[in-house]
Amino acid sequence: MSDKNEAIRLAKRIYDLDEKAYRASGSALGHVYTGDRKARIDEIIRCMETPEVRFNLRQQLALIGNMAHTIEDDDEREKVLGEYEDVIKDFHEFIDKNGGPSGIMDPIIASLNSLTLKNRMEKQHLIICISRSSASGGSHVGLELAEKLNIDYLDSRIIENMIKKLEVTEDIEKATSEIPESEGSSADIDEEILSFENTSKIRKFIHRKNRYHGLNYLDASFFRMTEIITALAKEQDFVIVGRAADRILTNNRIPHISIFITAPFESRITRVQKIRGCDRRTARKILKAADNIHARYYNYYTGLKWGDANNYDLCLNSASYGIDGCVKLIMNLLEPVK
Amino acid sequence: MSDKNEAIRLAKRIYDLDEKAYRASGSALGHVYTGDRKARIDEIIRCMETPEVRFNLRQQLALIGNMAHTIEDDDEREKVLGEYEDVIKDFHEFIDKNGGPSGIMDPIIASLNSLTLKNRMEKQHLIICISRSSASGGSHVGLELAEKLNIDYLDSRIIENMIKKLEVTEDIEKATSEIPESEGSSADIDEEILSFENTSKIRKFIHRKNRYHGLNYLDASFFRMTEIITALAKEQDFVIVGRAADRILTNNRIPHISIFITAPFESRITRVQKIRGCDRRTARKILKAADNIHARYYNYYTGLKWGDANNYDLCLNSASYGIDGCVKLIMNLLEPVK
């Protein structure tokens, strides 16, 4: 049977089932479909054939099922419900043959999400970006996750350290090349600048001169982070907390999973009180300031609203699940989707 | 060994490991721990014993591990990394014995979340509340989910129908009791008011008189919904889309899972265009108006910000996963947490 004929046949069955359920239930609300039979059947066919409006039909089917359940006579109810099950089964077969649910998946966004089925088939690194509201326990979740997955954990402090290391190395190269050979062997210089105090001095000196090409410190640091994060993402798996890493990776078209961890403000105040051992008023102030810094950083470098669910693949409420619960849920998410 | 002794011993090992990794790596950044050994070890012990600040220690351990990885000599690196693994193992054992990660889980919020481990042990119904931004495909997700789980699907239209049915029944009772017996047998009246047109007239009549006890239509409808949703929740499993059901259940202390489905505004505009067959400008207008209605309804009845990740157990981006992907992820979440 052609798909068109199949659609017509099924549409008629749906229309008639509605009529039957209505008659048998004596529904006070009347049919789902009223008025001209031909017009209604055409409407059903259009709903079946157009994934974007198919939802209406499914909702109408749910209403018919609802009505069928209220039929008082046991035999009659079983009969109508049996027909209902058949129609639903055939409807699903039709949908399977004629395209899935209407698309909201965005090809670009989806191509960057490591969890989508398509991407899971390709060889790629597992990169989980965690953003979090202050005191939500998001960093904790990231660290536990990295340990459970046995992959690297990165956060601002660790990346800052990497940047410092890179700068030290570059400083060494620069200092070495700038200093006339006669002033000393490079071995001596190496030894000198590898000691912490002197390295710091050299760094300050070179920073002042030309390090940031006119950029302020934060911008320069953001550039550095972008370099490091994208370079690492090409080489290995990791969990990274903060630093708008999700956006850095998105902008560089590197697949990853972006997760936002948060908890209601009042729950987070309670946690700040525990961490700092301070009163509620002080905790509130600290939290507001901390959230503000996160938000401004994210908004400034991404142009997006920090914590807006639209910007992440998923958001988890740590007050609902706890830190361990969040970790377990994310581990569950990483299981091959059945 | 007492926990205190164990903590002291482990703290010393961590301090010494840092020293060893520093010496072997010749790190340009120096130790993680500098200055007075006794004071640093006391600090490590405090971090170990206090779940709320334990994160600092774990971060420092990550830095030490990071440093150990950069040791150039192969034998030396393996040796230090081996010790590092041992320390990490013992550290985790210590944590397991002395309480888990610092709590952000809110006892009240968590007790209402059906997915938390504690609740999964108790007999209760599976209730999934889905809120969604307009055109995100959230209703679709809810419907597919209900079908996959083989449980009831509810949304505003279906609940409105239930309300109408209830009202019709009550109207019948009321009308019957108000009409003097001499005016006709109740069988006649039943027959008359069960026909759609007359029911509608009766409903209008009674509405005008005293139906809403002075409430406006929306408020009355919200009350009715609250009644229906809480009553159903005590009896059966279901997926419910919209109607601030999550808050209704929270206020009535009924465990459930609350999920917010959304997608970036631009992705949703594209979907509205497909559904309505309109231009982008019109789609944008429609979407803004629709989001606005959702937001106002939710905010008015809950006092909370609609779509704020803090108010839900989890939020999913349908542009990242698609409708099928969202359904599969939620199904994965429902798997017993390992």
Distance CA A274, CA A280 (A): 10
Record the tokens describing residue A29, joined without a space: 């609300």
Find, in chain B, the residue whose alpha carbon is nearest to that of A194.
B28
Tell me if A309 and B309 make a contact (CB, 8 A cut-off). yes
DSSP B247-297: HHHHHTT--BEEEEEE--HHHHHHHHHHHHT--HHHHHHHHHHHHHHHHHH
Task: Specify the pLDDT at position B212.
Answer: 44
Evaluate if residue A247 carries a pLDDT over 80.
Answer: yes
Evaluate if residue A252 carries a pLDDT over 80.
Answer: yes
ipTM attached to this prediction: 0.71
Task: Specify the pLDDT at position A187.
Answer: 31
The partner residues of A130 in beta bridges, in order of sequence, read A241, A259
Distance CA B55, CA A212 (A): 33
Task: Specify the pLDDT at position A263.
Answer: 93
**Strands B257-262, B127-132: pairing kind:** parallel
Task: Specify the pLDDT at position A328.
Answer: 86
CA distance B113 to chain A (A): 6
Task: Specify the pLDDT at position B336.
Answer: 60
What is the number of CB-based contacts under 8 A between chain A and chain B? 272
Ranges A56-70, A138-152, A180-194, B142-156: which has the least confidence: A180-194
Cβ-contact B176, B186 below 8 angstroms: yes
Instruction: Give A338's pLDDT tier (boundaries 50, 70, 90).
Output: very low
Closest to A237 (Cα-Cα) out of A120, A334, A315, A151: A151
Distance CA A99, CA A92 (A): 11
Tell me if A332 and B332 make a contact (CB, 8 A cut-off). yes
CA distance A124 to chain B (A): 17
Phi, psi of A253 (to 5 degrees): 55, 40
Task: Specify the pLDDT at position A201.
Answer: 46
State whether residue A262 is helix, strand or coil.
Answer: strand
State whether residue A47 is helix, strand or coil.
Answer: helix
Chain A interface disruption, residue of B105, B129, B274, most A CBs within 10 A: B105
Average pLDDT over residues A143-154: 88
Of A101, A196, A317, the CB nearest to B313: A317
Cβ-contact A138, A261 below 8 angstroms: yes
Task: Specify the pLDDT at position B166.
Answer: 73
Distance CA B143, CA B318 (A): 15
Average pLDDT over residues A5-11: 91
Cβ-contact B22, B30 below 8 angstroms: yes
- A241: which residues sit within 8 A by CB, 6+ positions away? A130, A131, A132, A138, A139, A142, A143, A153, A154, A155, A156
Find, in chain A, the residue whose alpha carbon is nearest to that of B154.
A62
Cβ-contact A155, B58 below 8 angstroms: no
CA distance A106 to chain B (A): 5
Neighbours of A208 (CB within 10 A): 9
Cβ-contact B231, B138 below 8 angstroms: no
Evaluate if residue B220 carries a pLDDT over 70.
Answer: yes
Task: Specify the pLDDT at position B58.
Answer: 80
Average pLDDT over residues B39-56: 82
Contacts of B136 in chain A (CB under 8 A): 104
Report in angstroms the alpha-carbon separations of A53 from A46, A116, B137: 8, 24, 11
Tell me if A105 and B323 make a contact (CB, 8 A cut-off). yes
Average pLDDT over residues B228-252: 89
Instruction: Give B255's pLDDT tier (boundaries 50, 70, 90).
Output: confident
C-alpha dihedral, B147 to A314 to A317 to B270, nearest 10°: -80
CA distance A233 to chain B (A): 17
Average pLDDT over residues B156-161: 81
Distance CA B245, CA A329 (A): 23
Distance CA B286, CA B273 (A): 10
DSSP code of B183?
G
| Segments making up each domain of chain A, as ranges | 3-97, 108-151+236-334
Find, in chain A, the residue whose alpha carbon is nearest to that of B64.
A158
For chain B, how far is it from start to end, CA to CA, in angstroms? 31
Evaluate if residue B188 carries a pLDDT over 50.
Answer: no
Contacts of A198 in chain B (CB under 8 A): none
Record the tokens describing residue B323, joined without a space: 């409708």
- Please, what is the average pLDDT of chain A? 78
Average pLDDT over residues A23-28: 79
Contacts of A26 in chain B (CB under 8 A): 194
Average pLDDT over residues B196-213: 41
Distance CA B5, CA A269 (A): 33
Q: Degrees (nearest 5) of the Cα angle A331, A335, A336?
A: 160
Note the pLDDT tens digit of each residue in B101-152.
Answer: 556 777 677 766 666 544 444 567 889 999 999 889 998 899 889 988 888 8
Using only the alpha carbons of chain A, give its radius of gyration: 30
Of B115, B267, B314, the CB nearest to A109: B267
CA distance A6 to chain B (A): 22
Contacts of B143 in chain A (CB under 8 A): 55, 58-59, 62
Chain A interface disruption, residue of B47, B147, B262, B320, most A CBs within 10 A: B320
CA distance B220 to chain A (A): 20
Ranges B162-176, B200-214, B292-306: which has the least confidence: B200-214
Contacts of A330 in chain B (CB under 8 A): none
Distance CA B72, CA B26 (A): 9
Task: Specify the pLDDT at position A197.
Answer: 38
State which amino acid sits at residue B63: L
More confident call, A104 vs B161: B161
Task: Specify the pLDDT at position B72.
Answer: 87
Distance CA A125, CA A151 (A): 10
C-alpha dihedral, B305 to B308 to B311 to B316, nearest 10°: 140
Cβ-contact B315, B259 below 8 angstroms: yes
CA distance B213 to chain A (A): 24
State whether residue B338 is helix, strand or coil.
Answer: coil
Contacts of B329 in chain A (CB under 8 A): 115, 314, 333, 337
Phi, psi of A153 (to 5 degrees): -110, 130
Average pLDDT over residues A126-141: 91
Percent share of chain B, pLDDT over 90: 20
Superfamily of domain B108-151+236-334: P-loop containing nucleotide triphosphate hydrolases (3.40.50.300)
**pTM (2 d.p.):** 0.72
DSSP B192-213: HHHSHHHHHHHHHHHIIIIITT
Instruction: Spell out where B4-135 has E strands.
Output: 127-132
User: Tokens 């009347």 sit at which residue?
Assistant: A30
Distance CA A136, CA A270 (A): 10
Cβ-contact B21, B71 below 8 angstroms: yes
Cβ-contact B136, B268 below 8 angstroms: yes
Neighbours of B197 (CB within 10 A): 10
Task: Specify the pLDDT at position B268.
Answer: 92
Instruction: Give B338's pLDDT tier (boundaries 50, 70, 90).
Output: very low
Average pLDDT over residues B304-311: 88
Tell me if B260 and A309 make a contact (CB, 8 A cut-off). yes
Task: Specify the pLDDT at position A208.
Answer: 41
The partner residues of B239 in beta bridges, in order of sequence, read B128, B153
Instruction: Give A241's pLDDT tier (boundaries 50, 70, 90).
Output: very high
CA distance B115 to chain A (A): 8
Sign of the CA dihedral with B148 first, then B150, B154, and B157 last: positive
- Please, what is the average pLDDT of chain B? 78
Phi, psi of B332 (to 5 degrees): -60, -40
Residues in chain B: 338
Note the pLDDT tens digit of each residue in A66-112.
Answer: 788 888 888 998 999 999 989 988 888 887 787 655 567 777 777 66
Tell me if A317 and B335 make a contact (CB, 8 A cut-off). no
Percent share of chain A, pLDDT over 90: 21
Contacts of B161 in chain A (CB under 8 A): 29, 63, 66
Evaluate if residue B1 carries a pLDDT over 60.
Answer: no
Chain B interface disruption, residue of A25, A87, A105, most B CBs within 10 A: A105
Tell me if A137 and B101 make a contact (CB, 8 A cut-off). yes
**Strand order across the beta sheet in which B314-317 lies:** A152-154, A238-241, A127-132, A257-262, A314-317, B314-317, B257-262, B127-132, B238-241, B152-154
Find, in chain A, the residue whose alpha carbon is nearest to that of B116.
A321
